[in-house]
Amino acid sequence: MKLLVYSTKEFELENLKKANRNKHRITYVTDALDSTTATLAAGHDAISIFSGDDASMVVLEILKELGVQYITLRSAGYNNVSIESAKRIGLRVANAPDYSPHDIAEHTICLLLALNRKLIRAHTQVQHYNFLLNDLMGSNVYGKTVGVVGTGRIGSILVKLFHAFGCNILACDLAHNHFLENQYDLEYVGLKELCKKSDIISINVPLTHDTHHMFNMSLFELMKEQVVLVNTARGAIVHTKDLIKVLKSGKIAGYATDVYETEKGIFFKDNSITGIEDEQLKALIALPNVLLTPHQAFVTQEAQKSVAETTIYNLDCWEENRSCKNELDYESLLL
């Protein structure tokens, strides 16, 4: 099969080449997929895209006209793909759902601890030979009430990790995980109750129509003033404008995130010379109670090896005309 890989990152190449073992003819481009770059896929059977690529209806129709039949995502999330449109025009789409939920869960813990214990500020001070402790007062995770929003692959791991920290754990999800309830003293509650009672809130749900701007002023106003919000899911689940207001006012204590609402065109690039024009992002970065990393939770050796192997597995299944366990079907997503 002939594959075009969009949005290729340097750190992906070695694993993709190893996983392929010269089975498929692969071309790598750094360009992101959109209505303009879709023409690069001419002559290819399949494309591979990342979470920031545009696979909306218009783009999919261009790809179909060019002869593309398959799309394999190098991510678990697929909010950037119009699955309904893909199925309607006969494009088959698969993702990488299980590449390494531990990586995301561990990064969530890293962000929380680093913000809680002011590790970035401490490191900066020490680099300037300032060893004062006056501005480094932190707080424990032990004994806190943690609200886990979404107990899927990543959220369920976080429940176990927070339980090991000695936390009281609340969760919100449409589907209840009875194993977690029984083994880790997890209590499922409504989202509003979770926001009222939690000292720490972790967002672990996919970005959908229902979760877009789920965390907005109405929920922020319910939260404790000392709450820390952690987001390793998708930036647009949080209403950034409202978030900045409550962070500046002290209504919530802090925000630790690996994602940003409008990160497309900014993240995965070195903007140190040109700068950025996004005033909201500038405001967010400038706040002392914000810790933001550049969507790096998935950048581990283990995760990248798994993503590469899953990408090739999806191609193998389609080429060999056998069932692909990662294939996304619009009707099944509605169930």
Integer Cα distance of 235 and 52 in angstroms: 12
Beta strand spans in 204-313 (E)? 228-231, 254-257, 290-292
Which member of 263, 302, 309, 327 is catalytic? 263
**What are the backbone angles phi and psi of residue 87, rounded to the nearest 5°?**
-65, -40
Contact, 63 vs 41, CB < 8 A?
yes
Contact, 303 vs 99, CB < 8 A?
yes
**Known catalytic residue at 295:** yes
Q: Closest Cα partner for 152 from 135, 130, 133, 177?
A: 177
Integer Cα distance of 120 and 171 in angstroms: 29
Integer Cα distance of 308 and 322 in angstroms: 19
Please enumerate in sequence order all residues whose Cβ is within 8 A of that of 246, keeping only pairs 6 or more positions apart, or say none: 217, 220, 221, 252
Residue 3, CA distances (Å) to 13, 20, 69, 207 in order? 14, 11, 10, 27
Rounded to the nearest angstrom, the gap between the alpha carbon of residue 220 and the centroid of all alpha carbons in its chain is: 21
Contact, 11 vs 304, CB < 8 A?
yes
The total of other beta-carbon atoms located within 10 Å of residue 166's CB is: 11
Which member of 24, 74, 239, 295 is catalytic? 295
Scanning the structure block, which residue is given the tokens 């689940």?
Answer: 237
Supply 177's token pair.
């995980």
**DSSP type of residue 55:** B
**Known catalytic residue at 263:** yes
Integer Cα distance of 72 and 44 in angstroms: 13
Question: Residue 191, class by beta-carbon neighbours within 10 Å (0-12 exposed, 13-18 middle, 19+ buried)?
Answer: middle
Which member of 74, 234, 239, 261 is catalytic? 234
Q: How many helices (H) and strands (E) does the chain have?
A: 13, 13
**Known catalytic residue at 331:** no
- The residues carrying an active-site annotation are 234, 263, 295
